[in-house]
Amino acid sequence: MNNRSQIWWPSPAKLNLFLHINGRYENGYHQLQSLFQILDYGDELAFDVNSSGKVTLADPIAGVADEDNLIVKAAHLLKQHIPAALSTHLGCTIHLKKRLPMGGGIGGGSSNAATTLLVLNRLWGCQLTETELSKLGLSLGADLPIFIHGNTAFAEGVGEKLQPVSLPKKSYLVVFPDSHVSTAEVFSMPNLPRNTPKINFSDFSFANTHNDCQQLVCDRYPNVAKALHWLLEYAPSRMTGTGACVFAIFDHHQEALNIQSMLPKGTTSFVANGVNTSLLHSQIQAHI
């Protein structure tokens, strides 16, 4: 088990290629439609399993207490759903290589938590199904199911009703405009559009969709507006999720790299390819 636990496991980013808000449920959650594109770029985690009964982070994130970190929360949540006799002695030290910006709308924290649930489910021998893990994950955040199932998908509901889809391969230039946008803040804005008509996925095209959060975020965060305006000069571009990251779509990886090289000095960015299946799931399959 120790050798396996030293493996670095992918924790990929995602993009919302569009985000339509169709209404609101009685519990206050928003009814939405989106297209989650999984990327071949992200953070990485390694898990040193032990019998201490404790979950610790080897690489704490500045400004985030361990008990508030979604990685630790996910591990504790998993322990709560297996027999006490087994969970009492299950422990782990978790290592994190952080590449994805926090508050960027590309799923960094949610992806970290999903990787934790999926990998520890195997290393600890919990034997929960992917569906069970997805339900656990949803209690931590609406974005977790997409990472647990690991497929690029058309999403409905609060983002948990997922229909896997295959998209043509594209490359994405993702820019983080040095602004931290609160998802809760955006969804609480009174002037957020909440009446976009539903579409069928068969009618999807990038050109006839949009992000209902984009204008409000751009109005409130000038850095986001500036980055998006810059990208739009070169390719179809949009904000992902509730921001702050914005992205541009290219047919060829080199083309994305060329535009990245032209970004203003000091800009935080990366280029990644869209994939229909998460690299994490490919790696898990390879280690069964």
Q: Is the peptide bond prior to 225 cis by the omega test (within 30 degrees of 0)?
A: no
Single-letter code of the amino acid located at 17: L
**Residue tagged 């539903």 (tokens):** 198
Question: Which residues, including other chains, have CB under 8 Å from residue 49's CB and lie 6 or more apart?
Answer: 1, 2, 5, 90, 91, 92, 120, 123, 124
Q: Among 79, 143, 170, 212, which one carries the catalytic annotation? A: 143
What is the torsional sign of CA 27, 28, 34, 39?
negative
**Residue tagged 């399959």 (tokens):** 285
**Measured distance CA(13)–CA(52) in Å, rounded:** 31
For residue 125, what are the CA distances in angstroms to 108, 112, 117?
Answer: 25, 19, 12
What is the torsional sign of CA 3, 286, 161, 275?
positive
Q: Among 14, 73, 79, 170, which one carries the catalytic annotation? A: 14
Q: Catalytic site residue 14?
A: yes
Q: Which residues are catalytic?
A: 14, 143
